Copies of this chain bind each other. A is one copy, B any other.
Amino acid sequence: MATGTFDIIHPGHGYYLQESKNLGGKDVKLVVVVARDTTVRSRKRVPVVDENQRLEVVKMIKPVDEAYLGSITDMFKVVEKIHPDIITIGPDQNFDLEELRKELSKRNLKAEVVKITGYKRSPLDSSCKIIRKIKETEFKEDALKHC
């Protein structure tokens, strides 16, 4: 199980998802949990793309077998439903791994927690960098008119 916001897709997302999938054995199934708009807003920033569209795009990415929206109230609800063998944390996600493991064990959930290290470097390798690039780019006046 992998998780994230997936606001604007970049190669780092593909890397994280493929590395997550590689941890599974034969008959591996990669399930992705996409963060809800309210969660993104409170933990990070206003999401550009809404949760349903982010979910749809995640489903288009090669290693993804299934994808769901997370719960608004309790991030462990979806873990209790999916019962993953492994939960992966993205290279740029700042979860406290020990806290997460403790909480899982408290709820009697046996998932292993693995931090994906390494990163796929690109000029715009985070949604945040893409947003900033757009904010800084001057488009010609009519370039964004007809859409």
Contacts and interface: CB of A to CB of B under 8 A. Distances in A.
A28 interface: no
Given A14-B60, A56-B14, A57-B10, A144 B131 contact: yes
B57 A11 contact: yes
Copies of this chain held together in the complex: 2
A45 interface: yes
A107 interface: no
A122 B139 CA distance: 23
A9 B62 CA distance: 14
Interface in A133-147: 133-135, 137, 139-140, 143-144, 146-147
28 contacts: A11-B56, A11-B57, A11-B60, A13-B60, A14-B56, A14-B60, A44-B143, A45-B144, A46-B137, A46-B139, A46-B143, A49-B123, A49-B124, A50-B124, A52-B122, A53-B122, A53-B124, A56-B122, A61-B62, A128-B144, A128-B146, A128-B147, A129-B147, A131-B134, A132-B147, A134-B134, A134-B135, A135-B135
A48 interface: yes
A130 B48 CA distance: 7
Interface residues of A, number: 38
Contacts of A53: 10-11, 122-124
Contact of A45 (B44, B48, B131, B140): B140
